[in-house]
Amino acid sequence: MRTRPTLSWTATGAPLPRTTDLDEVVETVARGRVVVLSGAGLSTESGIPDYRGAEGSLRRHTPMTYEEFVGSPEGRQRYWARSHLGWRTIARAAPNAGHRAVGALRASGHLSGVITQNVDGLHQAAGVLDAVELHGGLDRVVCLACAATSPREELDRRLRAANPAFEGTASRINPDGDVELAADVVRSFRLVACGACGTGVLKPDVVFFGENVPRARVEECYRLVDAADALLVLGSSLTVMSGLRFVRHAAKVGKRVLIVNRGETRGDSCAAVRVDLPLGQALTDLAGRLGVTCR
């Protein structure tokens, strides 16, 4: 059975007032030792939709779950056929003003680290080479049998060779690189095995819904939060626990939590302020007020 990912939550208590004033964010980031936790809302200005916004993909699309991927050959065929087209859009996406501002603030020393829930690689493309990819990255694949990893470009070439007549028309790209695709097109798609061991099932090196984030990666994120003075959330509704736990931990140990997001988040009760502004505009303004040039 396909598990429906968490779409919403029930808010309790009075909502945190929202503001368009960046003063508290500017003052906090000016002091340094701030860790960023970013979500899909940061990448919407690069043409990649989010999951839960007004046009969020979860309103029309159920992402692949780990259970279905490992347990269903048909599920893997559907995923790779759709992702074979969708990944090309992700790969062509360029960092937007928000990514560039985060990169500039990291380079200037105002940010002590970046944790991202996104799998699109846009923080790295904007210069944050040490960003922690909480949910992995679509630019890599891993073999479930021998654990070998390889570049997604290599798999793309092999899938093109195995499917020379594949002419699916993609529509509605999703944050996980999946697209909508007709069932008859999916059924004709041929998969390939691991190139290293010859038989293993290949999986994108991302954390599917229903799959656990590797423990070492979780611990690395906790270390970043513990070493910081504040946590700045950018473009995440914090609906799922994988990101929310760091917000709750930061608040519990006395770190200042600030959120810049379009709309209410599940972590609002932990935050000192929630700024409701477009991310590109807000982060460019933030960098400018701190005298940091975004390239």
Catalytic residues: 135
On whether 293 is known to bind a ligand per the annotation, the reply is no
Q: DSSP states of 202-260 as a string?
A: EEEEE--BT-PPPHHHHHHHHHHHHH-SEEEEES----SHHHHHHHHHHHHTT-EEEEE
Structure tokens at 83: 């992702």
Measured between alpha carbons, how far is 194 from 233 in angstroms, rounded to an integer?
37
On whether 173 is known to bind a ligand per the annotation, the reply is no
3-class DSSP state for residue 295?
Answer: coil
On whether 194 is known to bind a ligand per the annotation, the reply is yes
On whether 146 is known to bind a ligand per the annotation, the reply is yes
On whether 190 is known to bind a ligand per the annotation, the reply is no
Distance of alpha carbon 144 from its chain centroid, rounded?
Answer: 22
Q: Which residues contact 180 (CB under 8 A, 6 or more apart)?
A: 61, 82, 170, 171, 172
* Pair 279, 73: CB distance under 8 Å: no
On whether 39 is known to bind a ligand per the annotation, the reply is yes
On whether 50 is known to bind a ligand per the annotation, the reply is yes
On whether 53 is known to bind a ligand per the annotation, the reply is yes
Q: In 10 A of CB 239, how many CB atoms?
A: 20
On whether 47 is known to bind a ligand per the annotation, the reply is yes
- List residues forming the annotated binding site for Zn(2+): 143, 146, 194, 197
Known binding residues: 39-59, 117-120, 143, 146, 194, 197, 235-237, 261-263, 279
Q: Residue positions in the annotated binding site for NAD(+)?
A: 39-59, 117-120, 235-237, 261-263, 279
